[in-house]
Amino acid sequence: MEVKVAEDGSGKTVAFKAEPFEQGTSYVSFSRVWSDGLGNSTHNQLPIYQLSRLQGMLQELNQLSSALDLLNKGHVRRLWNRLAKKLTLFWMDTLCIPVDKQYKSQRSRAISMMKDTYGSANQVLVLDAELAAYSLDDVADAMMRISLSSWMRRLWTLQEGVLARRLHVKFSNDTLDVLAA
């Protein structure tokens, strides 16, 4: 899924574009705890301000390429692909797993595929309200906070993190690449 939130003369508008999954598609999966405000058990929707926030985080992830990435084996090709087509596609359960009762079988299938969904994502971005309240100033402190977070105490979110090729955690002032820390 791709979302674009733009400002026009009458206010903010949202455009969604759903993309069928194909092997090799670049996308970001969001991993988060439902109680942090990004869940919706009745509709596949979020408020515009939340969609704007997600769009901003995707743009921030696109800017995280470092010189170290260029030196790591295999990263040059990945970086080139990212520059050619920015990672704007994303997957989030709130928007991508049907909640309407008429789609019960599709919902079950989507849930059963979550291992593949997170394992195939180029990046997984962890959103945790507790962690987002702290600034990323010290990596050791950040890692300790992650280990004690609500996100880490939930089995399904921990699995999402373990499956990640690249795992990022959002703090108030920055995003930590956990596997590079």
Strand ranges across the sheet with 90-91 = 90-91, 28-32, 123-127, 167-170, 175-177
Sequence spans of domains, the chain: 2-180
Please say if the pLDDT value at position 29 is more than 90: yes
Is the model's pLDDT at 66 over the cut of 50? no
- What whole-number distance in Å separates Cα of residue 141 and Cα of residue 119? 27
What pLDDT digit, counting tens, does each position of 4-27 carry?
Answer: 666 666 677 777 778 887 888 889
Distance (Å, whole) CA 75 – CA 172: 27
Token duo for residue 97: 């797993």
The whole-number pLDDT of residue 79 equals 58
State pLDDT tens for residues 135-150: 999 999 999 999 999 9
84 versus 104: which is more confidently predicted? Answer: 104
Tokens of 53: 């926030």
Can you give the length of the chain in residues? 181
Structure tokens belonging to residue 176: 């930590």
pTM of the model: 0.82
Q: Looking up tokens 């962690």, which residue turns up?
A: 131
